[in-house]
């Protein structure tokens, strides 16, 4: 299997920037993990007052999922994104690698379906919380669902495995945005406190998603242009 694949020009810097942002998010999750386990060096800086207070957020019941701190789950999530962007930056043949896991189309479908189900689950859970903003949760669910469907249809319309791989990464980045928005709702309306580290991480994932979406659109457009130029 070839380790590299043909890539439209102008994407290398985008993937590199996304990689650097993902690595920055990995570092932020490390600070969150340290703060969760009461490391003064990480916690003191983040506890500004009663409202801007990482301890109120990072040590709440919402900071743990199935006994695992959400910060640790975030660490592995951003580490995975970093690996994906590193592979895209190095122009590895991810479409070829995807064949070992069911193919690019299967991975795109799986990522989209699992992200949709997770979004529904988070929204239903939020409905059970005292002081939760139901309107914000419904708007988030609607917007995320429309974006997931649009990205899936956009990529499938290209009929190109490279585009589908890019769409899979974009869907995973969008899942991070949706989860960050869910956590923001919890902070603002339920806990009524803001974690500086969490806020920083939320900004990072929004930028990462925006860059991924831009790269996806550019990749499809350039592949479409190449296909038209090959028609006699």
* Residues 23 and 82: beta-carbon distance below 8 Å: yes
What's this model's pTM, rounded to 2 decimal places? 0.88
Q: How far apart are the first and last CA of the chain?
A: 30
Is the pLDDT score of 99 beyond 70?
Answer: yes
DSSP-based three-state secondary structure for 194: strand
Residue in this structure with the two tokens 């993937």, named with its chain if needed: 15
- Cα 8 to Cα 149: distance, rounded to the nearest angstrom: 25
CB atoms within 10 A of CB 65: 10
Nearest alpha-carbon partner for 201 in 21, 64, 7: 21
Q: What pLDDT, in 10s, does the model give residues 166-184? A: 999 999 999 999 999 999 9
Highest mean pLDDT out of 57-71, 121-135, 197-211: 197-211
**pLDDT tens digits for range 146-161:** 999 999 999 998 888 9
Sequence-ordered list of residues with C-beta below 8 angstroms from that of 33, at least 6 positions apart, any chain: 69, 71, 72, 75
């Amino acid at each position: 299997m070839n380790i590299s694949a043909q890539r439209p020009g102008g994407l290398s810097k985008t993937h590199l920037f996304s990689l650097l942002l993902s690595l920055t998010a990995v570092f932020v999750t490390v600070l969150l993990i340290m703060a969760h386990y009461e490391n003064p060096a990480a916690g003191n800086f983040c506890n500004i007052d009663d409202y801007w207070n990482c301890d109120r957020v990072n040590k709440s019941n919402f900071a743990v999922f199935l006994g695992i701190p959400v910060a640790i789950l975030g660490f592995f999530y951003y580490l995975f994104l970093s690996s994906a962007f590193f592979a895209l930056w190095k122009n590895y043949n991810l479409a070829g690698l995807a064949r070992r896991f069911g193919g690019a189309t299967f991975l795109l479908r799986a990522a989209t379906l699992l992200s949709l189900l997770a979004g529904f689950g988070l929204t239903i859970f939020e409905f059970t919380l005292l002081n939760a903003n139901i309107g914000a949760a419904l708007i988030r669910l609607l917007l995320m669902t429309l974006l997931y469907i649009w990205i899936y249809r956009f990529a499938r319309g290209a009929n190109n495995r490279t585009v589908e791989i890019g769409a899979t990464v974009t869907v995973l980045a969008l899942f991070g945005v949706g989860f960050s928005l869910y956590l923001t709702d919890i902070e603002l309306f339920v806990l009524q406190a803001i974690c500086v580290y969490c806020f920083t991480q939320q900004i990072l994932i929004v930028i990462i998603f925006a860059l991924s979406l831009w790269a996806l659109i550019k990749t499809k457009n350039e592949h479409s242009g190449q296909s038209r130029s090959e028609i006699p």
